[in-house]
A and B are shown apart, each in its own frame.
Chain A
Amino acid sequence: MSVLSVNNLSVVKRDRLLFSKVKFNVVAGSLTYLRGVNGAGKTSMLRVLAGLVEPESGEVLFQGEKIQDCRNDYALSLVYFGHKLGVNQTLTAVENILFWCDLHQVIATTEQVYKILAQLSLVGLEDIPVANLSAGQQRRVALARFWFKKNAKLWILDEPFTALDVQGIALLNQQIKTFLEKGGAVVMTSHQSLQIEYPTTEVTLEYNI
């Protein structure tokens, strides 16, 4: 079954047509890998898919319904991980995660948060302001959301491996694989070559002038 269908999507940014009439389908249990050179509009595409940016024309359907018409259902099924982490610098890791869970109507206890932060090797860093963590550690705090939102159907990840160390990349790869095997769909971009052993669908965006 297709989780996301993209129909004739055209996106304009700063009066430049990034891409036009792009079509593809994201089915349950599939990994879609967005390719393209810098400036081809990968990030814009992901932001349109998430519903942050309005496309110039065309539509994005979530389970057959326009995402603008089913914002709530879509929000409950989506985890978006963008360039900006969505982690407040003044709050601690635990506070950040608990707030994110409340916002996304995910039930999480403080013990669970500590447990998962330990898995992400952030032991001892749970209760200090995130600003004091390194870039990679901050990223791990943001990644924790993939461990919590269990009923998600779609993950959208924009360059998730940036600033992560080898162990961090392995952890995230494992989590993505588990999610895919349970029938989740993933759309992502990455400059690193993918190390996930899973069949991938590639969508290539051409650079337009």
Chain B
Amino acid sequence: MWKWLHPYAKTERTYQLCQLLLPWFSVFGLFIIILATVWGLAFAPTDYQQSDAYRIIYVHVPTAVLSKSLYIAMAVAAFVGLVWQVKTSFMAMMAFAPVGATVTFVSLVTGAAWGKPMWGTWWEWDARLTSQLILLFLFLGVISLYKAFDDKQQAGKAAGVMAVVGIINLPIIHYSVEWWNTLHQGATIMKLDKPSMPPEMLWPLLLSILGWILVCGAISMLRLQNEILQRDLKRPWVVKLALNEHVWGDKK
């Protein structure tokens, strides 16, 4: 792990890696998201139970899946930073955090919008919605802790500790909320048992998940690059990079 990671402790290498991957992630990501969304919204068959309301899953499910993955990614970055003292790792953590918070928020909004036709109410204290809400708070906690510090290195370490505490807590929160939900609500919510999805519905869903993953990856990488440039503003390689860009722009 250490050997593989070691070169990326240098911010310059990480920046270059992002630069290399970014076009692939952004172009493919956008293309796939558009394809999958159009397919899902316009061409996938109508559900016999939920009619067209189910189509929100083409946004809701990818964001819900990604929210947790991004939290895990953030916590892993934090852990690597804390244990191996890799500075870039904290930058990556903070690149993931706002993306994760946004995605979680989108999943909450779409979840609520889906709840309206299904449950007849915008907000139901459903287990999944509730744990998404707490996840959003965990994201916001990490972000606000980071913002509270002036010294960014100290901020990274502090927010990293909180991210790791959060990830240990996440499964406990998840199960406790689920258990609380069954205890209090029982049969009042219409629980949808998982019917096997016909492939015409499943394919666009899988595609849109992939698209969201790529786009979130691209945004995170952009954020990481920005963070690196800001923090290393006075390092020679950044100065050189800025000069090169300028010359290149002039030629055009």
Contact = CB atoms under 8 A, between A and B. Distances in A.
The answer to whether A and B touch in the complex, with CB atoms under 8 Å apart, is: yes
Interface of A: 12-15, 17
Interface in B224-239: 231, 234
A12 B153 CA distance: 9
A209 B51 CA distance: 64
Given A13-B151, A17-B234, 7 more contacts: A12-B153, A14-B150, A14-B151, A14-B152, A15-B151, A15-B152, A15-B231
Interface string B130-156: 000000000000000000001111000
9 contacts: A12-B153, A13-B151, A14-B150, A14-B151, A14-B152, A15-B151, A15-B152, A15-B231, A17-B234
Of A13, A14, A15, A17, most buried by chain B (CB within 10 Å of CB) is A15
A17 B236 CA distance: 13
The majority secondary structure among interface residues of chain A is strand
Nearest to B149: A14
Contacts of A15: 151-152, 231
Nearest to B230: A15
Nearest to B87: A56
Contacts of B153: 12
Contacts of B152: 14-15
Contacts of B234: 17
A209 B5 CA distance: 32
Interface in B75-89: none
Contacts of A14: 150-152
A15 B156 CA distance: 12
Q: What 3 A-B pairs are tightest by C-beta distance, nearest first?
A: A14-B151, A14-B150, A15-B152
A13 B234 CA distance: 14
B209 to A, nearest CB: 37
Contacts of B151: 13-15
Contacts of A12: 153
Nearest to A12: B153
A142 to B, nearest CB: 26
A14 B156 CA distance: 12
A61 to B, nearest CB: 19
A84 to B, nearest CB: 17
A17 to B, nearest CB: 8
B87 to A, nearest CB: 9
B31 to A, nearest CB: 38
A15 B230 CA distance: 10
A182 B51 CA distance: 90
Contacts of A17: 234
Nearest to B234: A17
A49 B231 CA distance: 25
A12 B231 CA distance: 11
A14 B151 CA distance: 4
Nearest to A17: B234
Interface in B204-252: 231, 234
A177 to B, nearest CB: 37
A30 B214 CA distance: 61
B84 to A, nearest CB: 13
